[in-house]
Structure 1
Amino acid sequence: MTLLILYCATIGVFLCLDFLGLSYLIKPIFERDIGPLLLDNFRIFPAFVFYAFYIAVLLWFVSVPALAQDRSLWWVFGNAALIGALAYGTYEFTNFATLKDWTSAMVATDLTWGVFLTAVSATAGVAIARAFS
């Protein structure tokens, strides 16, 4: 039951925060720099696959070990930030290296957002799971 609470809490926080971040931080910069490449409506299935898998990996490497070993929330935050930097950094720096219209502003904004989003979501998920356990 704790694992289900952990997953639902983490993905819930992640989705709520990412909706805000994508709407107000990321979208304006991406529209400015690569607007013609963006879809009018995002594709739901690939988004679902990414979110479901990303949160599962985050739980595997950070949240479940934190619960099993009674790690601090600072430990969760720091390790989740590393996962966020790896994931969002891979995406952003690969695009920056290979796509002509990718900008340093896009890299900095999305990378920073991904690190923050991942760290906060994992930390909140662990805190909520502990509260209900």
Structure 2
Amino acid sequence: MTLIILYVTSFVIFLGIDFLGLGYIVKPVFDRHIGHLLLEDIRIFPAFAFYAFYVVVLLWFVSYPALAQDKSLLWVAGNAALLGAAAYGTYEFTSLAVMKDWSWSMVATDLTWGTFLTAATAVGGVWLTRMFTASLA
């Protein structure tokens, strides 16, 4: 039950925060540089597949070990931020290396966003799961 609570809370947090960040932080920067390449409406299935898989990876490497080993939220934030920086950095620096019109401002914006988003998701998911499981005990 703990793992289900952890996954659902983390997924909802990730989706909710990213919806705001993509619309108000990341998209304006990407529109400025590669707007002519962006779709009017996102493709739901690939987006959902990424969210579902990314949250599983976050739980595997950070959130579930934090619960199992009673790690601090600071530990969760640091490790999740590192994972987020690696994941978003891989995409951004590869894109910068091989794509026309990719810019340093896109890299900085998305890398910072992904690092923050991943850390906030893990901290929120672990904290809420601890709260729910403590109230059920």
What interval of TM-score do these two structures reach, taking the shorter chain for normalisation?
A: over 0.9
Q: Which residue of 2 aligns with 1:121?
A: 121
Alignment partners' CA distance in 2, 1:50 and 1:18: 12
| 1:108 maps onto 2:108 in alignment | yes
2:45 maps to a residue whose letter is F
Q: Distance in 2 between matches of 1:43 and 1:86?
A: 24
Aligned to 1:48: 48
Aligned twin of 1:9: 9
Give unpaired runs (5+ residues) of structure 2: none
Q: Aligned equivalents of 1:62 and 1:23: distance in 2?
A: 27
Q: Report 1:1-133 matches (<5 A).
A: 1-133=1-133
Superposed CA deviations along residues 19-68 of structure 1, whole A, max 9, x for unmatched, are 00000001101011000000011101100110000000000000000000
Q: Counterparts of 2:87 and 2:44 in 1: how far apart (Å)?
A: 20
Percent identity, aligned pairs only, is 66
Q: Runs of 4+ in structure 1 displaced over 6 angstroms?
A: none
Distance (Å, rounded) in 1 between the aligned partners of 2:35 and 2:67 = 42
TM-score, normalized by length of structure 1? 0.99
Shift of 1:130: 0.3
C-alpha deviation, 1:100, in angstroms: 1.4
Distance (Å, rounded) in 1 between the aligned partners of 2:2 and 2:132? 8
Q: Distance in 2 between matches of 1:118 and 1:9?
A: 13
State the one-letter code of the partner of 2:8.
C
Q: 2:22 is paired with a residue of what secondary structure?
A: helix
- Partners of 1:33 and 1:116 in 2: CA distance: 22
> Structure 1, residues 58-107: CA drift from partner, whole Å, max 9, x if none?
00000000000000000000000011001000000000000110000000
